[in-house]
Amino acid sequence: MKKKILGVGIVAILIIMLVVLTGCGENTTQNNGEQGTAEEVTEVGKLDLEVQGIWDFSEGLAKVKINDKYGFINTKGEIVIEAKYESASNFSEGLAVVGIPDTEKESTQYSKPQKYGYIDKEGNVVIEPQYEGCSDFKDGKATVKKGIKGAFIDKTGKELTDFKYTHGVASGSIPLLLGNGLAVVDASDVGIKTGFYAIIDTNNDYKPIVNQSFGSVEELSSGLIAVKQVDSANKGKYGYIDAKGNLVIDYQYDSAYTFINEMAMVEKDGKVGLINSKGEVIVDFKYPDSNNMVTVDFSKDNNGMILLYDGEQEIYFDKAGNEKIKLEKGISGRDFAEGYARIKKDDKYGYIDTNGKLVIDYQYKSALDFSDGLAYVTKDSDSFEFINNKGKTIIAGKIIK
């Protein structure tokens, strides 16, 4: 189901609080189809890693869990940051959040308190662990938490504001960075008495871009932000504002999502269509409601396409509103990343290119998108692989339960 980035009750992706998941999927080192043999790729990457969990790559490094601790490997499978942290996030703008035990707080049967800081890609501690929660960096800033309030910091660890901001969704949550210097905070934090969220400009004394609150806020993309009107039941319509708070596309949609390459998915009366950044309809409202939409990760390139479902088949549309790729019935797709999309048929995953050609055959039990030239895949529950866009295994290993 396609999810809103902000909205009452949806907290998980708003705050990177480092509740680290245990093991990912897994895969074998055996190669099939277009994949090379182990001998062919031995000099390319490591084929005998043993981990409890492993995540996809970000900025050239992937998080691993070994002996109940977290570290990082490079794209050759070499451990470059020792697995010694209680938790870790992916790298963003050259820094990753890590957690260490907070010995000043008492552990319970259900939780082990941590304090969080940041390391660089060499494993150096850049910002000492001292916070109760941290976000990724975006545009050179991050949000951190002490107690139930959040503050903004820069990449040197300098605290740019007092700890006075919340997010408004749940007690103790911290502001969400939208990009381009904008962030979302609880409306009451900036003197707006009604509503849920306000958008502030961190480059302009953290002032609201408009003296108005919103029921929901999406990320900034193509210069526009999807926002929801506030009413007593938070059932207002969606429209789009620009980075200065000007209403660009009127409030008229039942749902509205972030722009991808100048086009966005919107919903009216239970039907979904696509609009361009001028608000013009480029794909008519005739597709099933957004509950049937696949999740869109707006950090990926998507190759200028959005995936819609017509009730029988999934279709990729380009930004002119043309059908670019129409998948066969029974095949489900995901978004493009680095020129390839993972698709699923008969409970097996493969990959297509931007022309819809199947370039890596259906053979994987689970699969993730390409990132830094590699995709995480599994064929069974005991092992994993990272493959390149030719389907060759570059890194492989076992999952230790």
> For the residues 214-218, what does the mean pLDDT come to?
91
**pLDDT score for 118:** 98
**pLDDT score for 15:** 37
Q: Is the pLDDT of residue 296 over 50?
A: no
> For the residues 7-25, what does the mean pLDDT come to?
37
**Does residue 10 lie within any of the structural domains?**
no
Q: Is the pLDDT of residue 297 over 80?
A: no
Condensed to tens digits (0 to 9), the pLDDT of residues 139-181 reads 999 999 998 899 999 999 999 999 999 875 444 578 889 989 9
**Does residue 14 lie within any of the structural domains?**
no
C-alpha of 133 from chain center: 18
Condensed to tens digits (0 to 9), the pLDDT of residues 90-132 reads 999 999 999 999 998 888 878 889 999 999 999 999 999 999 9
Condensed to tens digits (0 to 9), the pLDDT of residues 333-349 reads 998 899 999 999 999 99
**Does residue 16 lie within any of the structural domains?**
no
**Does residue 123 lie within any of the structural domains?**
yes
**Does residue 298 lie within any of the structural domains?**
yes
Average pLDDT over the chain, rounded to an integer: 85
Q: Is the pLDDT of residue 8 over 80?
A: no
**pLDDT score for 5:** 42
Q: What total of structural domains would you count in the chain?
A: 1
Distances (CA, A) of 243 to 138, 191, 199: 16, 20, 9
**Residue 339 in tokens:** 């020129």
CATH number of the domain residue 265 falls in:
2.140.10
Q: Which residue has the higher pLDDT, 10 or 309?
A: 309
**Does residue 28 lie within any of the structural domains?**
no
**Does residue 1 lie within any of the structural domains?**
no
Q: Is the pLDDT of residue 249 over 50?
A: yes
Ramachandran quadrant class, 15 (left: phi over 0; alpha: psi -120 to 50; beta: rest):
beta
- Low-confidence winner among 51-65, 294-308, 377-391 (lowest mean pLDDT): 294-308
Percentage of the chain surpassing pLDDT 90? 69
Rounded CA-CA distance 228/213 in Å is: 9
Q: Is the pLDDT of residue 234 over 70?
A: no
**pLDDT score for 172:** 52
| 114: Cα within 13 Å, side-chain hemisphere | 19
Q: Decide: 277 and 256 in contact? Cβ < 8 Å.
A: no
**Does residue 8 lie within any of the structural domains?**
no
**pLDDT score for 323:** 94
**pLDDT score for 184:** 94
| pTM, 2 dp | 0.84
Range of the domain at 64: 38-399
Confidence of residue 49 (pLDDT cuts 50, 70, 90): very high
Confidence of residue 31 (pLDDT cuts 50, 70, 90): very low
